[in-house]
Amino acid sequence: MRIAVFHPGAMGSQLAAQLVGAGHEVHWVPEGRSTASVRRAEEAGLIGTPFADAVREAEVVLCSCAPQGAVEIAEQVGREGFAGLYIEANPLSPKSLAQAQEALPKATFTDAGVVGPPPKGGSSPTHLMLSGAAAQQAADLWAGTAVTPMVVGAEPGAASAAKSAYALYNKGKAALAVLAFQLAEKHGVTEALTAQQVRQDAGSLTDPQLPETLTSVAWRWGPEFDELAETLDAAGLEGDAARGLRQVWTRLSR
């Protein structure tokens, strides 16, 4: 099957590489992308193609990018009249997801969200949450690969909610750990904090380099928390909790 992927970052390139390994022909658009993206695409076995050609010939489009670019990509693909299977693999709020779906009136829209590391066959599984009428069709694309598809609902929105719920917990505790380290550093008690790593509930506090490590992903995690806040609001829950933690990623991305 011919597939176009926009745009292959650390996660998207590995999702695409698994599709290549499954026997699919996977295209991407090198124009305007960084040298790091070019390297990832080449390593994944992707075929560089102009945007219009990539969309026009594709049977499937996979959108896996930072959340802040997802709606724009859907609009660009929609303007090309794409009428195949569109897999939106970003954790979007109900509002953003509806905007992406409305931009693709001819496509079969499938909501998706990834939980876990980029799929490389390691010990930690990569779960691809999927929802929508064609969720099983999308799941079948990764049959026999290091990606574990999970159909979680019949309507778009369920997959994003499942991904968002886990991200709120997993990345939320990382944000709290960053704050804890920064507070300890301000008072000169970092060693006293890291000494608590012997406790079973210490979690992320075992790594004093965590704030520095997460600086490289803060630019992407911040907008993800914007979507999380809107998702919580739409569910009648405390979106301000996610907005508060979003400021951790704002500070780190500076």
Q: Give me the DSSP letters along 192-212.
A: HHHGGGGSTT-GGGG-TTHHH
Distance CA 48, CA 30 (A): 6
Distance CA 209, CA 173 (A): 15
Torsion (CA) 15, 20, 23, 27 in degrees, nearest 10? 110
Distance CA 152, CA 173 (A): 24
- The pLDDT of residue 108: 98
3-state secondary structure at position 189: coil
Distance CA 50, CA 203 (A): 45
- Choice between 75 and 202, residue whose per-residue pLDDT is larger: 75
- The pLDDT of residue 3: 98
Would you state the structure tokens that stand for residue 192, as one six-digit string?
């006293």
| Residue 222: φ, ψ to 5° | -60, -55
Tell me the pLDDT tens digit for each residue of 111-139: 999 999 999 877 899 999 999 999 999 99
Would you state the structure tokens that stand for residue 47, as one six-digit string?
């075929």
- What is the architecture, at CATH level 2, of domain 162-253? Orthogonal Bundle (1.10)
- The pLDDT of residue 203: 86
Q: What is the DSSP letter of 228?
A: H
Beta strands at 25-28 and 126-131: parallel, antiparallel or unpaired: unpaired
Tell me the pLDDT tens digit for each residue of 64-100: 998 999 999 999 999 999 999 999 999 899 999 999 9
Beta strands at 47-48 and 60-63: parallel, antiparallel or unpaired: unpaired
Mean pLDDT score of the chain:
96
171-192: average pLDDT:
96
Tell me the pLDDT tens digit for each residue of 235-248: 999 999 999 999 99
Measured in whole angstroms, the distance separating CA 247 from the mean position of its chain's CA atoms is: 19
Tell me the pLDDT tens digit for each residue of 5-44: 999 999 999 999 999 999 999 999 999 999 999 999 999 9
- Residue 204's pLDDT band (cuts 50, 70, 90): confident
180 pLDDT higher than 80: yes
- The pLDDT of residue 74: 98
Domain extents for the chain? Answer: 2-154, 162-253
Q: Report the percent of the chain where pLDDT is more than 90.
A: 93
Predicted TM-score of the model (pTM): 0.94
215 pLDDT higher than 80: yes
Superfamily of domain 2-154: NAD(P)-binding Rossmann-like Domain (3.40.50.720)
